[in-house]
Amino acid sequence: MELFFFYYLAGVIILTALLVVALRNPIYSALSLLIMFFHVAGLYVTLHAEFLAAVQVIVYAGAILVLYLFVVMLLNVKREDRYHPQFPIGAFLGLVIITEVLLLAFRRSESGTPPMPPAGSVAEAVGNTETIGDVLYTTYLFPFEVASLILLVAMIGAIVLAKRDLFEA
Amino acid sequence: MTGSEPLLDYLGRYFSIVLFIGIALAFGVVTLLISYLVQPKYPEAEKLSPYECGSEPFSDARMPFPVRYYIFAMLFVIFDIEVIFLYPWAVVFDKIGLVGLVEMLVFIGLFLMAYVYAWKKGALEWD
């Protein structure tokens, strides 16, 4: 049963990920990306990472995808002039990544599955979100505060980059 | 809930969400399907042309959007992530107490700086 859920979710993720790069209409690509985000959230749920699943839906499906759609509309990407000049670079990078994934899978099957922490030993005693909150605001306090600084930089960067269009147009 | 709980029981708690998504999808599909099945079809060139309040369409609908929309989407993403960090904080707030309040105030304070910057720069103005 566990395998059934995994194969369903993984299959849809692979299919929609392929559609994202294969479809000629960028809006359709963005929509299949949306389906992929939801299935990745489903995968997180089967892994007992419930908070991560909720974040996946809220941030990726809710906010990042809107950003992608705006980029598509902003650049006015037409269906014909896509990814042809970048094809050699893309093919090379894809080859590197596929090699890496195959190497990882191969080495993993060679040395047996790495020891997994027993599922639900820590997280489910009190609840997923509560466990994250417990460690995030005590042990990982500094990375948490740094995250806000990084987001501040991202925002200032976005405004500076768009500034010319904003104030001189 | 114990760690030895079967996966099916665990996923069963998500059944209502799956049902909700399913009904939402089915609503759209069934509506389109029924209207497709019962509509009268008399296509002609004039009827199939894009309709723009009576006047002829003069450009493609896919025109470039102003960069303003992107700024708003970007700001939305950033403040969305800020709210994400508030969820686990709210759950454990009674445990971490005053220290938690102070660290969250520092966190929100940095976002407030970003907000003030955006406001002063006029990124929130439409014109």
pLDDT digits (tens, 9 = 90+) for B55-85: 776 777 667 777 777 788 888 888 898 889 9
**What single string gives the DSSP state of each residue in chain A?**
-HHHHHHHHHHHHHHHHHHHHH-SSHHHHHHHHHHHHHHHHHHHHHTT-HHHHHHIIIIIIIIIHHHHHHHHHHHT--SSSSSSTTHHHHHHHHHHHHHHHHHHHHHHHHS-PPPPPPTTSSHHHH-HHHHHHHHHTTTTHHHHHHHHHHHHHHHHHHHHHHHHHHH--
A129 closest CB neighbour out of B11, B75, B88: B88
Contacts of B90 (CB under 8 A, 6+ apart): none
Q: Is residue A21 scored above 70 in pLDDT?
A: yes
Q: Which domains does chain B have, with CATH numbers?
A: 7-121 (1.20.58.1610)
Q: What is the dihedral of CA A140, A142, A145, A149, to 10 degrees?
A: -130
Q: What percent of chain B has pLDDT over 70?
A: 87
pLDDT of B13 reads 82
Indicate yes or no: CB of A74 within 8 angstroms of CB of B74: no
Pick from B92, B110, B116 the residue to mutate for testing the A interface (most A CBs within 10 Å).
B92
Burial of residue A133, with CB atoms counted within 10 A of its CB: 0-12 exposed, 13-18 middle, 19 or more buried: buried
**CB contacts, 8 Å: B120 with chain A:** none
**CB contacts, 8 Å: B7 with chain A:** 1-2, 5, 46
Pick from A47, A64, A151, A167 the residue to mutate for testing the B interface (most B CBs within 10 Å).
A151
pLDDT category of residue A18 using cuts at 50, 70 and 90: very high
Q: What is the number of CB-based contacts under 8 A between chain A and chain B?
A: 154
B71 closest CB neighbour out of A64, A71, A159: A159
Contact (Cβ atoms closer than 8 angstroms) between residue B50 and residue A61: no
Q: Is residue B36 scored above 70 in pLDDT?
A: yes
Indicate yes or no: CB of B8 within 8 angstroms of CB of A144: no
**CB contacts, 8 Å: A135 with chain B:** none
For residue B45, what are its two tokens? 């060139």
Chain A nearest C-alpha distance from B46 (Å): 26
Q: Cα angle at B82 between B78 and B84, to 5 degrees?
A: 115
Contact (Cβ atoms closer than 8 angstroms) between residue A58 and residue B82: no
Chain B nearest C-alpha distance from A4 (Å): 11
Supply the mean pLDDT for chain A: 82
Q: Does B119 touch chain A (CB under 8 A)?
A: no
B74 closest CB neighbour out of A133, A138, A158: A158
pLDDT of A33 reads 94
Name residue B52's beta-bridge partners.
B55
Q: Which domains does chain A have, with CATH numbers?
A: 2-119 (1.20.120.1200)
Q: Does A104 touch chain B (CB under 8 A)?
A: no
pLDDT of A116 reads 56
Indicate yes or no: CB of B69 within 8 angstroms of CB of A74: yes
Q: What percent of chain B has pLDDT over 90?
A: 17
pLDDT of B19 reads 92
